[in-house]
Structure 1
Amino acid sequence: MALGVAALAATTGGALSPPAAAEGEAPSGQVEFPTHCVPPREAGLPPADGPTTARITVDDPAPEVGDTVTVTYQVARTPAVNPIAAELPADVLTPTGRIQLGGAQSGEVTVVGAKRNDPVEAGAELPAVTMTGTFTITGAGAITLAPGGYALHTSHLLDLDTACAVSGAPVSERLTASPLPRANLRSVALGAAYGKPGAAVEVSGTGFAPGAAVTVAGRAGAAETADRVAATADARGAVVAELPVTDGATTAVVAYEGTAWSAQQGSGPAAYTVVAAAQTPPGTQKVTAPGTQKVTAVVEPGALTMTQAGGSITLGAVPYGERGAVAGRIGTVTVEDARGGPAGWTLIGKVTEFTGPGGVRIPGASLRWTPRCSPAPGSPSRCVAGSAGVVGPEGAVLASARGGAPAGGTFTIDAAVTLTLPPYTPPGAYRAVLALTLS
């Protein structure tokens, strides 16, 4: 069963453009490139052409997808000069600039510096400046960072801007982004929790690689039994198979990809009991009156169901230009397990990209949650909340209950969610779909 909810927030964005091309990239570190600086008209000065010496650094050279990286653009030397015919006092120079991204991620990063400069004589070159900014990793692979254009704003006597355009700037810094570690979302559910020797049990599996060869097998503790059947996952990664259970030692059923079960490519065990023909199946009570007749009462198994309160999540807001995390909470989910057998269950969530004004997109990996799960009084099973962390398009476990006796009950599940927004996100509403699947 799957349930989708829409999430709303104000998020990041910005115009994307390809990185500046360069003939022969310089090694990572300080680089030099041609610059054309145009002084403000009020200064009455001609444009200044010459080299800029600069360096770009990052706070994390090996981030994961969804991480926010802080970048620093240091201009050690510029051809731009003091635009006024007098000494420029200290701390009146504000730099802004752009860093061009290339490789596994394109676009540009806006960087800003503080008012921090020594006095500058009339006609002298403007001093070194340092600018910082952030961006979010959207894809795995090698990413290059090259210096882009910058502007130097002075606020003494008049507000004046000197704009410096660059050409052929070489790469100054590189980083390698790794994908988020994928949670093993493989799971199986059984059509029956017990059966006579030789009975075939229907096995339904989810979370496998599309088209993968899957082995469905019986288990007794950590060892496999003689019960085994082959299956193939469909285009959605789902598996359906019938497993004849003839080995009396079988106490659970698993499914896995590859030649042997592993925690990375196999499902957790779904409990199963082989019941001898002379035994009374679980869920049956017998009362015998000596010398008279047998009376049998049967408890019929129910279903595994899920309901959710509300169909949308509204997150908070963040002021334009600021980086922050907007918070919210999913609609409360109620899971009812009335099957009466020893099988457990798993509730998984996946989130799409956030889409906003003008098609600006924010990766689903920017959404994190902190799940909670509690059983209703009298529920035989205990439930386990999923780990706090990234939800993302690959999915994460919201809650689960292990198989085994006793089993069943009613469980209340919710989660606090936060969406991390980079600065200077275009104003507007950003929407995504959070889908929950119970199996």
Structure 2
Amino acid sequence: MSATRHRGTRPGVRHAAWAGVVSLLVAVPMALAGQAQAATPGTSVSFATTCTPGVVPAIHGTTITEIAVDNATPKVGDTVTVTYDVTQPASGNPTSTALPANVILPSGVVQLGGAQTGTVAVTGTRTNPPVAGNAPFPPFQMTGTFKVTTAGSITLTPGNYTINSNYIINLDTPCTIDTPPAPVSNTITAGPVTVPNNRAITDNPSSGPTGTKVTVTGTGFTAAAAITVAGFSGTTATGDATTATADSSGAFSATLTVNAASTTGIIAFEGTSYDPTKAAPPAAYSVTTVTPPGGASQTLNSSVKGGTLSMTQAGSTVTMTPVDFGTGGSSTGSLNAVTVKDFRGVGSGWSLTASNTNFTGPGGSTLPAADLSWTPACSTTAGSPSTCAAGSAGPVGTAGATLASTPAATLTGGQFGATANLSLSIPAFTAPGTYSSTLTLTLA
């Protein structure tokens, strides 16, 4: 995939020889653009763990986990994101009080070994489902980052972790490995620092009709190196090419005549064969069309940008009507209005659902979540491509129910309002006091 220029070669022959070089040249910079790397999973490992919540005796269990990384072959100086994925925590809810959604926050450490030692602090988010009293904690993920400082094989081993629950009381449950260290879950191979390529070129002018002589200047090349300068179109060489020699500072200047009407860029590299480590990024070039007198045309382009699917609510608390002890009945109220904005401009619909936890009251007394029912209603703002449909009347509860939705279509979107009349059935001799439940809305 290389070509050598011989002195005295006829122009037509020389251009054909450069064609193979530039075809390789253009394909490689496009590949270097790269794509985001997918996470590399590790090996699932398990180890005996003791968790000490403090409010009850120590809990002995087994932790099952896996450590993933976003880059399994980093370079020294790169930052690696680590995901500590606990698929089975060793502990559960240490109290008989049910925990609502989004009150559990995990944190912990990952041990580094091999070529680089130390610890990586990892933390999760409060995004748990409801957890019943004395029930096992759900799986969770914790993430953190570290900078690679040494080349070689680096092992990642799960370390101790802590589960914090912040509901009624703020309670930490630290979990320690019974026989450290735990088994290694993942290994990355770090390479040495990549020497930066500071080669760069500019073209002047960067556009013109065919036959334009373009001055191409470059910096950052190897002193006294032979430089190839060539034109290309997409991934194909145009045949326009010339050579230059870098001075003692690595700079050069060359004149390239652009004869090919298809030219989209100019490239420069050391030698006669393309090597990405010895080439500069391409400089864009466009060939203009000379319009004869008497007429001209212009193309006008506009665009509409798609947005996001989002929701807001008018408030976060609903105060329902009281009922009398000994009589009971229905405690009623209205769900705070929810505004949904579908500005994506795609063909997908959306669904707004809700679920609620048990109502908790004084002295640990509760009312079942399923005793809450609603009658949904929704409205569509004029001009919206989609039409909102209200969900069915009936119970909400932990199983959840649909508040409103729109169907898929060729073009969907718009602004919508959703609410519901709420009714909680309360038995006649329910203990007096305030009963509270968390209703969680999910838009998808």
- TM-score norm. by structure 1 comes to 0.36
Of Structure 1 and Structure 2, the greater helix share is in 2
Of Structure 1 and Structure 2, the greater strand share is in 1
Larger Rg: 2
Q: Larger relative CO (CA 8 A, sep 6+): 1 or 2?
A: 1
